Amino acid sequence: MNEVIRTIKERRSIRSYKNEQIKDTELDAILEAGEYAASGMGHQASVIVAVQDPEDIAIMSGLNAKVMGMDIDPFYGAPTVVIVFADPEVTFTPVEDGSLIIGNMMLAAFSLGVDSCWVHRAMEVFDTEEGKALKAKWGIGESLIGIGNCILGYRDGDLPAAAERKPGRIVKR
The DSSP-derived string for 6-58 is HHHHH--B---B-S-PPPHHHHHHHHHHHHTS--GGG---EEEEEE--HHHHH
pLDDT of residue 46: 98
Sorted by sequence, the CB contacts under 8 Å of residue 96 that are 6+ apart come out as 40
pLDDT (mean) for 56-64: 98
Helix-helix angle 3-10:94-111, to 10 degrees: 100
Q: Is the pLDDT at 143 greater than 90, yes or no?
A: yes
Helix-helix angle 54-68:129-138, to 10 degrees: 150
Q: Is the pLDDT at 119 greater than 90, yes or no?
A: yes
pLDDT of residue 172: 97
CA count, 13 A, side-chain hemisphere, 139: 3
Q: Where do the structural domains in the chain lie, given as residue ranges?
A: 3-153
Helix count and strand count (H, E) for the chain: 6, 4
The angle formed by the CA atoms of residues 73, 75 and 80, to the nearest 5 degrees, is: 135
Residue range 3-153, CATH number = 3.40.109.10
Closest CA relative to residue 86, chosen from 52, 157, 130, 37? 37
Question: How many residues make up the chain in this entry?
Answer: 173
Q: Is the pLDDT at 56 greater than 90, yes or no?
A: yes
Mean pLDDT of the chain: 97
Q: Is the pLDDT at 1 greater than 90, yes or no?
A: no
